[in-house]
Chain A
Amino acid sequence: MNPPDTPTFDAPWQAQAFALAVALSDAGHFTWTEWSEALGARLNGPNAARDGSDYYDHWLENLVALLNAKGLALPEAIDTTAQAWQRAATATPHGKPIALSNDPKAQGAGSDNYHN
């Protein structure tokens, strides 16, 4: 139960997901109590790893679910935009910054195509 400390975040996306939840709560889109109760239900559910290694996976899915419940972002829009980011990454030459506009399916249009 007392293994050596691991880094605060195992990957940059975990830090970004952490910051998104805190920023949304700071901006008043949900209270931290709402957040904690929903996160706790996931962490105490049957799909949680015993060692806590999937903590930020649950964190991210908690965020997606809460945004859906609040009508702030739809899961379908998130999936569609995530796929666009993956296509954009694949189409971006190595060494160049990945931009959503590099998605071949975007065809020069703005990223508004991906949601709502």
Chain B
Amino acid sequence: MHDHDHDHGDNSLDPMTARVKALETILTEKGLVDPAALDAIIESVQTKIGPRNGAKVVARAWSDPDFAARLAEDATSAVAELGYSGRQGEHLQAVFNTQDTHNLVVCTLCSCYPWTVLGLPPVWYKSPPYRARAVRDPRGVLAEFGVTLPESTQIRVWDSTAELRYLVVPERPEGTEGLDEAALAELVTRDAMIGCGLAKVPA
């Protein structure tokens, strides 16, 4: 047991940290992973991917009908035009909100999410209640996010998979005719691109 007057040994690793370090040790020594690749992945998560990417995509689609058409046709290629490319085998589909149809994205299985344009999912997206209720009671879920849609609006729920992930293109708010793409992107929230919110109205 611990001796309280020891002169060293103040460090300790919690079990999860020790377990991950063990995995890294083993996998690195076997040549199965490259530590530099791990660092690059973490750096990408922290600095390169995130909902600002998706907001730029949406703002471009609002501003450029040709781009919007390409986005609707093949979102993976369209977002690559802006420099956002996903990992191998991961396809993106853009779903466009209209007056009649509101789109909501979930992953009922686990947590599939369009990383390149939205970053990693928020904790609620990964939680069992959201994953279950988004399908069963989308209108109730939207109400909890403060979104109330007319009864006449149809809600389509898209269930993501490892191969196919969805980006919601919210409706362009009224009163934004004079705004450029950068200003428009400021109105596009992450929740709006999951379908749990609407684009912000300019102040």
Contact = CB atoms under 8 A, between A and B. Distances in A.
Interface stretch (B13-21, B149-157, B173-181): B13-21
Q: Which of B23, B25, B119, B129 has the most CB of A within 10 A?
A: B23
B128 A48 contact: yes
Nearest to A3: B124
Contacts, number: 194
B76 to A, nearest CB: 15
Interface stretch (B37-45, B65-73, B97-105): B37-45
Contact of A13 (B8, B11, B16, B88): B16
Q: Which of B12, B89, B109, B110 has the most CB of A within 10 A?
A: B110
A92 B11 contact: yes
Interface string B25-50: 11101101110011101100110000
A65 interface: no
Contacts of B111: 39, 43, 55
A19 B41 contact: yes
A20 B21 contact: no
Contacts of B27: 20, 24, 67, 72-73
A32 B110 contact: no
Interface string B120-156: 1011101111110100000001001110000000000
B41 A18 contact: yes
A34 to B, nearest CB: 8
B103 to A, nearest CB: 18
A112 to B, nearest CB: 7
A52 B20 contact: no
Given A13-B20, A85-B13, A43 B38 contact: no
Q: Which of B13, B26, B41 has the most CB of A within 10 A?
A: B26
A27 to B, nearest CB: 7
A48 B127 CA distance: 9
A15 B32 contact: no
B9 A8 contact: no
B82 interface: no
Nearest to A78: B22
B129 to A, nearest CB: 6
Nearest to A25: B87
A32 B16 contact: no
A91 B13 CA distance: 11
Given A23-B38, A85-B22, A55 B123 contact: yes
